[in-house]
Structure 1
């Protein structure tokens, strides 16, 4: 239901009121964002209030854009944006921010497009719109200028249309009169002297620039550009016509048979030595076997997937051959087993050394590769088209990103490393502590609290790290702009700091290692 249907007023007046509402919402969101991020923190460094801004942004779109409420396909995108906004309200992060922007853009353009066709094309559309979005406010200012020239009354349209000319002309005349009128020149000189303070000048410039960027962003979502390239229908719509493959069955079958044999050799080796614990040949250690070649095996799995996609197109005569299908199913099954072996190698490497961001992301990536291989197999079995495969993989990827946005990597990494090395405190100091100090988030606090509560496993380095992590979180929670729900829960669960703790002080000039001493908490 539009504003024209709600209000018993003529359509031009309803349209004008609708435009005023959009201006008010965009300006209000820009001012709120400026207040929230006035400390200079980016969205990734802000607190739960960033989630409040995101949810209010979503509510503003629902108020001023009735198509979002009535279009069925937009409901799923709005739900995704809402979940991402809740993740930002719990604890802001890069993944939740990207998901929110993607689903928000999807919800805006789905009513114009009609349906969701292809995830890859939608990603390209939204990326293109992100580049040209600032033009939206410029086009509207140009339209206001044209409307203002024909406006008979001194109304909002004529005011907004004349605003750029008013500002530029006023600055020009002030500059001229400052030279001709000593009084005006003195007032301007005093203003320039006041702004000559580096802090005040930088603060004013930063606020103005941020307001311009924020207003442009919010306006581009409330009144998006209407470009044909953003709403064109995908070529993937409809059934994929039958195509001839690049090679016939006579060439594909020997290749698939050879690939199956080579993959079988690798998989049998992994089953015997990696999974079964068989004795390795003389001169080779388990570390040499398990910790090498993971990247090469993943590349082999990706090449296998590309081969199947390139040479066994849906609807081609080759893909209908039963022998070819059997060999493909066997090869994909072996490739999935190969990926699982790569994951086992990575887990062994983590157990031998420690868990890090890169290794955790590598495990997630391998799981997505395995899921993609299974989807390729299902596509061949059910004769699906390319759009289905892209959308299915995009759905898996978005689900994983959604789970990651509610997961704190620092907590996972710290807990794993501390639990695995709890039986060897010296190893913790030598290996884990150095890496745990690089975790700048507050997620490691509770694992550190649990570790320091066990006297047999605690150490001065662990106590010092807990002290610095908790004090940093307390300082962050004291600022309402940086306060987060997750941080408040962690501080409550951690409890007060002990009465005495080991803190790390700067090393002396003749020593490269930090010195540890005991000191009471101030």
Structure 2
């Protein structure tokens, strides 16, 4: 276990615990103000950054200037997509940001960035074990049980201050009508609403979530025994040895070359397919199974090219692996082209956008595997770069209005606007939400007034406008995307028919 796994003990534990408890109470109260019973929006962004500030304030020792400025900036940047709109991708990036801030503030952040995925994985593994950790029960067992004497000892120190405060308030109310009016305006029902069971449950969930970040822990790594750390050469496996790898790679390369040749002929070359098979059917049937093929190939390559394995020591095996990875990357691009041809024939959907992004990520992962082999890097390096690629991709997607993009694409490629292709699926556009309104306006503007499809499109637009105007106008639910759409609707109030 590395030294970074054990955080340094604070100089004054009692003071540090009191500060953490105070910040925990403040953050729970802030969550009640911003989140409880509110639609998501600006409130998520503010609360995430408030947690980051609270974590830094609970640090055991003062942070250096680069850390004190860099960590809040990291939380701000990774939570910025929540300002655009609240999405699961934005929430995931925000959780990554405040987790990194928490690990860095407590000295658990790794010195080498390639170790970050492992540290994050150990942090996640420790979460289910926290309630069952032996140290937790030990603290509860050794804590002093409250007795009537200890309770009276703590209460009697408050008797005199509270009694005199109540007397002074009563006298001030008698002497000052403004204070008397304020006291009489207190509504007991307002305070009783905080005793709601759902609200108390919300407080407990927030308190548990924040306490994990204020006091992060990593799952301990199992120590390797001396006999396990010996450099003795293990016998080669008969099922995954040098001969088995060579035969597998020869067969796999030949099989993938046949598939690549067919794709180059019919998909990239545009040669006419046999009767009964259209290019759309050829594209659709192969897009998703080929992705599974590429993932299985990536797993095989990682197992074959492990360090000190038979594949890593053979130049012939390495050459065959390089050729096979190149064919798999070509396979990914063929899958993307298949998806593109299918979209041209049957329009774009959210699932097809997700599939295209996933295919690009798989192709990038295969390229990183090839780099890992060529540069002789570790699997930690590969996982770290793959995670960075995923984070960058999610960040870009979180800032893009995917429903609006799909609506614009389908309108622009519909037979009513482009003069070819399929008619616009108005029912599907209605499921994309108010973001589809600008594209619907473009569609309506391109149709003649007496067109048969104008009436249903106008009806869908009106329903989406109603949904948008019924959205919460509370400042805590504000987002850039909703504000842009509201401004658009104010400027285009007369477009609906």
**TM-score range, shorter-chain basis?**
0.7 to 0.9
- The answer as to whether partners of 2:16 and 2:60 remain within 8 angstroms in 1 is no
Moved more, 334-343 or 420-429: 420-429
Q: Where does structure 2 lack aligned partners over 5 or more consecutive residues?
A: 1-10, 159-187
> How far off its partner does 1:336 sit?
0.5
Alignment deviations for residues 409-461 of structure 1 (CA, whole Å, 9 cap, x no partner): 21222121122116359999965211111123x43233334434445598233
- In the TM superposition, 1:120-519 aligns within 5 A as 121-132=118-129, 142=140, 146=144, 204-224=196-216, 226=217, 229-230=218-219, 232=221, 246=237, 247-421=240-414, 423-424=416-417, 431-440=424-433, 442-456=434-448, 459-499=454-494, 501-502=496-497
Alignment deviations for residues 185-241 of structure 1 (CA, whole Å, 9 cap, x no partner): xxxxxxxxx99xxxx8898222222122222322332234x5xx5354998xxx998
- Distance, in Å, in 1 between the alignment partners of 2:92 and 2:396 is 13
2:84 to 83, 86, 90: 90
Label 1:144 to 1:414 Cα distance change in 2 as closer, same or farther (>3 A): farther
- Distance, in Å, in 1 between the alignment partners of 2:29 and 2:401 is 30
Moved more, 491-500 or 376-385: 491-500
> How far off its partner does 1:346 sit?
1.0
> How far off its partner does 1:101 sit?
1.5
Scaled by the length of structure 1, the TM-score of the pair is 0.72
> How far off its partner does 1:378 sit?
1.1
- Tell me if 1:27 matches 2:16: no
Q: Where does structure 1 lack aligned partners over 5 or more consecutive residues?
A: 1-10, 160-193, 503-522
Alignment deviations for residues 99-152 of structure 1 (CA, whole Å, 9 cap, x no partner): 222332233235236435545533432323443567899879949953988989
- Distance, in Å, in 2 between the alignment partners of 1:410 and 1:53 is 27
> How far off its partner does 1:312 sit?
2.3
- Tell me if 1:57 matches 2:46: no
Label 1:354 to 1:66 Cα distance change in 2 as closer, same or farther (>3 A): farther
- Distance, in Å, in 1 between the alignment partners of 2:18 and 2:414 is 62
Cross-structure match for 1:5: none
Label 1:73 to 1:372 Cα distance change in 2 as closer, same or farther (>3 A): farther
> How far off its partner does 1:354 sit?
1.9
Aligned residue pairs: how many?
440
- Distance, in Å, in 1 between the alignment partners of 2:137 and 2:212 is 11
Alignment deviations for residues 62-104 of structure 1 (CA, whole Å, 9 cap, x no partner): 2222569449899877654322322113311111112222332
- Distance, in Å, in 2 between the alignment partners of 1:402 and 1:70 is 28
> How far off its partner does 1:475 sit?
2.5
- Tell me if 1:112 matches 2:108: yes
Moved more, 429-438 or 74-83: 74-83
- The answer as to whether partners of 1:74 and 1:107 remain within 8 angstroms in 2 is no
- Distance, in Å, in 2 between the alignment partners of 1:223 and 1:291 is 50
Partner secondary structure for residue 318 of structure 1: coil
Cross-structure match for 1:47: 41
C-alpha RMSD over aligned residues: 4.0
- Distance, in Å, in 2 between the alignment partners of 1:67 and 1:404 is 37
> How far off its partner does 1:56 sit?
1.4
Scaled by the length of structure 2, the TM-score of the pair is 0.76
